[in-house]
């Protein structure tokens, strides 16, 4: 079914970003309202599209009156729209924190324009059905990431953002190479047509395309050889940027990974085998990701900066999700979705609360957590609850996800089963350093002077956003049934490559 108004999800933020950027007196006073109204519009309109998707199935949006193999198109399916809604909620929370903080006063207009373009770019990445269009908006996405990392204008943030720039621009060149290769062989850039004909490509060309596409995404996914940028960029960035990076940037790259592997390459049944060069792609990816899990957890264990610990633990979780996806089964996919849910909600909350607890201290070390329960009671409780959710205590989404992960690899005994040791190791290490942090909250700080002059006022934006996120977490805890249906429907959609192709190219359907 054609539903051409979906494009408003991308165009309205772009138009209002131009509007916000205008140096006119009227807009200078009211740009905050425009900014928040645009995000609310996107949230409400995506809910509307979701209701249409539930009614009619996958929707296709045509741009320029040219039908897909010739023109660019957007595809909105159950999976992509749900992803978008979750990301919009996280974005709204960090936008509220950004708008009501006054320390970026002179540049606030420009930064809100950048954030709106960030919003437009990730909605386009999730909805698009064209490979080159994905590349263009992925570039916008990474440039806006670079800008928002460098906002603090200190040594750390500048170093982090230039590392990110160097890695991501090499990654984009790899992506461009792969796009050219695909076009030279298949003569098309439409994702559905590439998916239809991908099996016909010869063995080495297929390897080439897969490795190049992988290399371009893995730098965003914080996998081991390409994860050097996170150590500085998370530690040097502002708080709302941490929320965006941990809650949105990695998840969008994960979405691209899922689309590439499952809808284009048809991953579980991909035949990467030739008689003179046997290549087990599953074993290769598993080794890669488990190495990444081990390295990230060990760095998180040994580092002392709070933000760096949280950043590396988030990178380890992303690698765990990739580990689950590599199995290529429905149970592995649903465990990945459960872990994504727990990351999207609890990771931003961890960053937010830890920032509030360490506020006012010079060094953001583990020691600045001391006596937190008395200084900042509300945020300490938030931190404890979100750490419990993130590490996977029983009856939380992360717990079910890790249980499903064990089930996936242990139900069929083969040599992939040995890799479970890595997951057990990672869970143990994670428990250890999160409990060390929680333990610090209850220790009395002897060096702290009795200083009652420090204002202990709660900023309302932090309070409200923390409250919303914690309530979402508790809803997930009380009613675990609500995500059961959603996950089965999602996995049905992802493993049904034919339906995706059929929505776009019709394939003889009348």
Partner 1 sequence: MKETDFNVGKFFAFLFLFIIFIFMLFPLFEQGNGLKIEKEIKDLRNRVSFAYSTKSVTDITKTLKESGDYSKYREIYNQERNDIRFKESANLENGSANIVTSIVLDYRGFDTLGELIVLFISIIGLTIILSNLNFVPFNPPTFLQKTGVLFLTPFIMLTSIYISLHGHLTPGGGFPAGSIIATLSLFLMIGYKFSYKLKFLNFIESTSGFLVFFLALLGLFITGSFLGNYLPTGIVGKLFSSYLILILYSLVSIKVGAELSVAIKTLYDGENNDR
Partner 2 sequence: MIDNRILYIFSTILFLIGIFGAITNKNLIKILVSISVVETASNIFLVSIGYIKNSKPPILDANMGKISVSNLNISDPLPHALVLTAIVIGVGTTAVGIGLCIRLFQYYRTLNINRMGDKDEL
Positions in 277-296 near partner 2 (CB under 8 A): none
Q: Of 437-496, which residues contact partner 1 (CB under 8 A)?
A: none
Nearer to partner 2, 4 or 104 (CB): 104
Least Å distance between CB 499 and partner 1? 15
Tokens standing for residue 288: 């890669």
> Residues with Cβ < 8 Å from 107, sequence gap 6 or more?
151
- In sign, the C-alpha dihedral spanning 216, 219, 220, 223 is positive
* Among the listed residues 84, 96, 119, 143, the single contact to partner 2 using CB under 8 A: 143
Q: Which stretch binds partner 1 (CB under 8 A): 48-56, 65-73, 296-304, 428-436?
A: 65-73
Least Å distance between CB 502 and partner 1? 10
Cα gap 52→58, rounded to integer Å: 9
3-state secondary structure of 77: coil
* Among the listed residues 28, 48, 110, 155, the single contact to partner 2 using CB under 8 A: 155
Q: Of 85-124, which residues contact partner 1 (CB under 8 A)?
A: 106-107, 110-111, 113-114, 117, 120-121, 124
Is 144 an interacting residue with respect to partner 1 (CB under 8 A)?
Answer: yes
φ and ψ of 277, to 5 deg = -150, 80
* Among the listed residues 87, 96, 179, 244, the single contact to partner 2 using CB under 8 A: 179
Give the N- to C-terminal CA distance of the chain in Å, as an integer.
12
Q: Of 210-249, which residues contact partner 2 (CB under 8 A)?
A: 231
Least Å distance between CB 257 and partner 1? 21
φ and ψ of 96, to 5 deg = -60, -45
Least Å distance between CB 165 and partner 2? 5
Q: Which stretch binds partner 2 (CB under 8 A): 160-168, 346-354, 368-376, 502-510?
A: 160-168
Q: Count Cβ atoms below 10 Å from residue 333 Cβ, excluding itself.
A: 23
Least Å distance between CB 102 and partner 1? 17
Compute the CA torsion angle 305, 306, 309, 314 (nearest 10 deg): -140
Is 139 an interacting residue with respect to partner 2 (CB under 8 A)?
Answer: yes
Nearer to partner 2, 228 or 427 (CB): 228
Tokens standing for residue 74: 């957007």
3-state secondary structure of 454: coil
> Residues with Cβ < 8 Å from 401, sequence gap 6 or more?
324, 335, 336, 337, 338, 339, 342, 392
Is 417 an interacting residue with respect to partner 2 (CB under 8 A)?
Answer: no
Tokens standing for residue 306: 């709070």
φ and ψ of 408, to 5 deg = -60, -45
Q: Which stretch binds partner 2 (CB under 8 A): 263-271, 297-305, 322-330, 493-501?
A: 297-305
Tokens standing for residue 28: 């200078």
Stated length of the chain: 510
Cα gap 149→164, rounded to integer Å: 9
Q: Which stretch binds partner 2 (CB under 8 A): 2-10, 166-174, 273-281, 440-448?
A: 166-174
Contact 76, 3 (CB under 8 A): yes
Q: Which does 159 bind (CB under 5 to 8 A by kind): partner 2, partner 1, none?
A: partner 2
Q: Of 7-26, which residues contact partner 1 (CB under 8 A)?
A: 7-8, 11, 14-15, 18-19, 21-24
Helix (H) / strand (E) element for 475: namely helix 460-478
Is 210 an interacting residue with respect to partner 1 (CB under 8 A)?
Answer: no
Contacts with partner 2 by CB under 8 A lie at: 132, 136, 139, 143, 146-147, 150, 153, 155, 158-159, 161-162, 165-166, 169-170, 172-173, 176-177, 179-180, 183-184, 231, 302-305, 308
């Amino acid at each position: 079914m054609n539903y051409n108004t979906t494009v408003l999800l991308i165009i309205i933020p772009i138009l209002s970003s131009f509007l916000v950027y205008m140096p006119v007196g009227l807009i200078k006073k009211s740009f905050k309202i425009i900014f928040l109204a645009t995000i609310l519009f996107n949230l409400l309109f995506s809910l509307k599209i979701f209701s249409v998707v539930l009614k009619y199935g996958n929707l296709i949006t045509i741009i320029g009156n040219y039908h897909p193999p010739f023109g660019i198109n957007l595809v909105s399916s159950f999976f992509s729209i749900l992803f978008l809604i979750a990301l919009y909620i996280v974005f709204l929370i960090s936008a509220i924190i950004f708008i009501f903080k006054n320390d970026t006063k002179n540049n606030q207009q420009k930064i809100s324009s950048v954030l709106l373009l960030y919003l437009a770019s990730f909605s386009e990445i999730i909805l698009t059905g064209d490979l080159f269009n994905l590349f263009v908006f992925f570039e916008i996405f990474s440039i806006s990431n670079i800008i928002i990392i460098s906002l603090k204008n200190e040594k750390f943030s500048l170093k982090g953002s230039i590392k990110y720039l160097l890695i991501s621009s090499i990654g984009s060149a790899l992506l461009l190479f792969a796009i050219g290769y695909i076009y030279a062989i298949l003569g098309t850039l439409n994702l559905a047509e590439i998916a239809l004909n991908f099996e016909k490509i010869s063995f080495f060309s297929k390897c080439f395309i897969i490795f190049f596409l992988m290399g371009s995404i893995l730098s965003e996914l914080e996998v081991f050889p390409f994860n050097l940028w996170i150590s500085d960029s998370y530690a040097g960035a502002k708080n709302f940027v941490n929320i965006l990076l941990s809650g949105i940037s990695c998840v969008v790259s994960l979405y691209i990974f899922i689309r590439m592997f499952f809808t284009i390459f048809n991953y579980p049944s991909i035949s990467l085998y030739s008689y003179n060069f046997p290549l087990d792609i599953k074993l290769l990816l598993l080794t890669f990701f488990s190495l990444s899990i081990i390295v990230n957890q060990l760095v998180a264990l040994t580092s002392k900066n709070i933000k760096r610990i949280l950043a590396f633990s988030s990178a380890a979780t992303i690698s765990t999700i990739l580990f689950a996806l590599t199995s290529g089964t429905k149970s592995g996919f649903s465990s990945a979705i459960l872990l994504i849910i727990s990351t999207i909600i609890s990771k931003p909350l961890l960053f937010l609360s830890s920032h509030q607890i360490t506020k006012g201290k010079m060094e953001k070390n583990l020691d600045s957590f001391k006596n937190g329960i008395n200084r900042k009671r509300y945020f300490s409780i938030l931190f404890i609850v979100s750490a419990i959710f993130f590490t996977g205590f029983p009856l939380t989404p992360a717990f079910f996800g890790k249980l499903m992960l064990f089930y996936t690899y242990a139900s069929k005994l083969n040599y992939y089963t040995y890799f479970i040791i890595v997951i057990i190791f990672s869970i143990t290490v994670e428990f250890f350093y999160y409990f060390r942090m929680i333990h610090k909250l209850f220790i009395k700080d002897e060096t702290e002077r009795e200083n009652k002059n420090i204002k202990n006022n709660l900023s309302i934006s932090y309070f409200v956003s923390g409250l919303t996120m914690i309530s979402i977490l508790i809803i997930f805890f009380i009613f675990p049934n609500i995500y059961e249906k959603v996950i089965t429907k999602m996995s049905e959609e992802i493993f049904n490559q034919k339906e995706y192709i059929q929505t776009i190219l019709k394939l003889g359907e009348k």
